[in-house]
Amino acid sequence: MRRTLTTLSLGAAAAASLALATPANAAAPTAPAAPTADTAQAAAKPGPWSKWKHWSLQPGVGGVEVKGKSRWRKQNGAKQAEIQVSVRDTNLKNSKNACAKGIKYYKPVGNRSFSACGGKKWKTVTIREWGLDKVNLWECVDNAWSREKCSKSKTVYDG
């Protein structure tokens, strides 16, 4: 009797496992997994840009005009800066090497020099970088027969 019950229970278990493995159940759709916090953060887009802040380096060295604008946006705690620097030589009779020079400072540490030179027409250079902390610029005029003259430094972006 005991053998009969064991055989019947094994047969029932085998039949149940066969019923579960039918193609109808195997093809049943599964619910997609909910996105995790990591994938949601990675897919996050940067926030909107701040309003433009306009600036100029006037009064500066004669013969150079430098102006520009800067703005920023955030994503996951990091800041992206966009700075447009426009330079032109205002001395039409005696053209000089008119430049905007500066230093870009980064978080947590580091810096890099920057230079943009213009002629009689405006030359615009755009800096768009993550991790910028501060940008200082100054105007410079380089005469072939004399030393380079530069204005005082001005902070045009302070993140």
Residue among 34, 16, 37 at smallest CA distance from 25 = 16
Residue 5 covered by a domain = no
Residue 132 within any structural domain of the chain: yes
Residue 132 sits in a domain of what CATH number? 2.60.40
In-domain check, residue 44: no
The Cα–Cα gap between 8 and 70 comes to: 81
* Residue 71 resides in a domain: yes
Judge contact between 151 and 106, C-beta under 8 A: no
Domain presence at residue 23: no
- Domain with 105, as residue range(s), is 59-158
pTM of the model: 0.66
Residue 50 belongs to a domain = no
Q: Which of 85, 55, 66, 76 is nearest to 131 (CA)?
A: 76
CA distance between the termini of the chain: 85
Measure the CA–CA gap between 22 and 27, rounded to whole angstroms.
9
Query: For the segment 68-101, what is each residue's pLDDT rounded down to a tens digit?
Result: 999 999 988 888 999 999 998 887 777 777 888 9
- Cα–Cα distance for residue pair 69/50, rounded to 1 Å: 12
1 inside domain: no
Residue 15 domain-assigned?
Answer: no
pLDDT score for 96: 72
Q: What pLDDT score does 10 carry?
A: 53
CB 71 within 8 A of CB 50: yes
Q: Give me the number of domains the chain comprises.
A: 1
pLDDT in tens, 12-36: 555 555 555 555 555 555 555 555 5
Percent of the chain residues topping a pLDDT of 90: 30
Is the Cβ–Cβ distance between 144 and 159 less than 8 Å? no
